[in-house]
Amino acid sequence: MSGGRRATPEEEALFERTVRADERAEQPPAPERPSAPPAPRRSATPAPAPPLHQPAFPIEGKRTTVPGLDRRSSERLAQGRMEIEARLDLHGRRLEEAHRALVRFIQASHAGGRRCVLVITGKGGTKRADEGVMNEDAPGVLKRSLPRWLAAPPLADKVLVARPAQPKDGGAGAFYVLLRRAKR
């Protein structure tokens, strides 16, 4: 855990505005096209892009199956009965630093032939600016980002599945990550 202070809601809002402005500035301008008749109007909500590879996170009330993972192994993982071969604690890290550490950790674990690792994100929670009260229902930024990071390159082809950890291993603030077998 780093010894730094937490950002105020005003600082977080400024950061978000700055990141969005940077993202807009990085996009090249759209090429001008000759005027064409207007396209037919579509729904205001664009269709979501299909995920490249989405690790299976359980959805309450629903069992998910994962290609390449038998039911017994899936249950052992979810119950915390698989041997944890390595751990990574991301507590207190900034978003980019945590992402880089996760990529290095997963790649090294996969290359080292490890199968089951534990990634600790922390439970998170946000302070409501108006009352200064913690909102325990809102997951932290690292916890929200982990599924997206595991599902995207360069980790998607190394991760088979991830599941929330049992209380003895960190509970809602940690995940078991089952890696694919390394090709020899």
Helix/strand/coil for 175:
strand
pLDDT over 50 at 47, yes or no: no
Cβ atoms 179, 115 nearer than 8 A: yes
Question: Which run of H or E residues covers position 144?
Answer: helix 141-151
Confidence category of residue 12, pLDDT binned at 50, 70, 90: confident
Give the side-chain half-sphere CA count within 13 A for 74.
Answer: 15
User: What is the pTM for the complete model shown?
Assistant: 0.61
User: Measured between alpha carbons, how far is 169 from 178 in angstroms, rounded to an integer?
Assistant: 15
Rounded average pLDDT over 74-99: 93
User: Measured between alpha carbons, how far is 88 from 36 in angstroms, rounded to an integer?
Assistant: 54
Residue 161's pLDDT is: 92
Taking the domain 54-179, which CATH number applies? 3.30.1370.110
User: Measured between alpha carbons, how far is 41 from 176 in angstroms, rounded to an integer?
Assistant: 45
Per-residue pLDDT tens over the stretch 106-150: 999 999 999 999 999 998 765 554 555 544 555 689 999 999 999
What lies within 8 Å, CB to CB, of 105 at 6+ separation is 86, 88, 117, 119
Domain ranges of the chain: 54-179
Q: Roughly how many angstroms between the first and final C-alpha of the chain, as a whole number?
A: 36
Q: Which residue has the higher pLDDT, 182 or 143?
A: 143
